[in-house]
Amino acid sequence: MNDITTKIRGYNKRKPNIDKKFKFLNDLIERSVYVGKGKEPDKRFDIATEGLSLWISPQGIKTFYAFKKIKMFNKRKLKFETNNSYKKIFRFEDSNHKNLVAAKCEELKGKVQGFYVERNLTLTRELSEEDIHSQMQSMFRSREEFRTSQEDLEEELFGKEKTVEEDKS
């Protein structure tokens, strides 16, 4: 083959998309492939639209999900943490009615109806003493359970307490 035919036929196939965060475009979504250990879905996030994600299963099935950040109380750590709450929108297909534009429209419709909350919007609420007491009573059924959790927390924070015999030696 001469130089001209190699230049003309020198087409390189497009590489699969493995980015975790990118601007969702139909071309990039179609080229996205599963990256993982084969058990859990691979999650991709849209840079342009907050609250829109794409999950790719190990079998290659692509599904749009809307998500919002929620403050939840962690009983083990005894503190509030932010977690993502996901809601399935639909599977990504090559047909016109189940593509990226439809997913963004569905997400915006859900935001207007109050299903999803923007990530920038934060809601704070001050707890009264009664709320704190009722929350603690729902977490611990008895005094012994409360004392055990406090001892476990103390040991985790400060280590085991030295006894008098250990101090003498």
Distance between CA 109 and CA 124 in Å, rounded? 25
Domains observed in the chain: 3-118 (3.30.160.390), 125-160 (no CATH)
pLDDT at 120: 45
pTM equals 0.53
Token pair for 109: 């419709």
CA-nearest of 121, 97, 119 to 46 is: 119
Mean pLDDT of the chain: 77
Per the model's pLDDT, the better-predicted residue between 159 and 114 turns out to be 159
Task: Kindly report, residue by residue over 78-108, the tens digit of the pLDDT.
Answer: 888 888 888 888 887 755 666 667 777 777 6
Give CA torsion, residues 119, 120, 125, 126, to 10 deg.
120
DSSP 96: G
Specify the DSSP element, H or E, that contains 155: helix 143-158
Distance between CA 103 and CA 38 in Å, rounded? 26
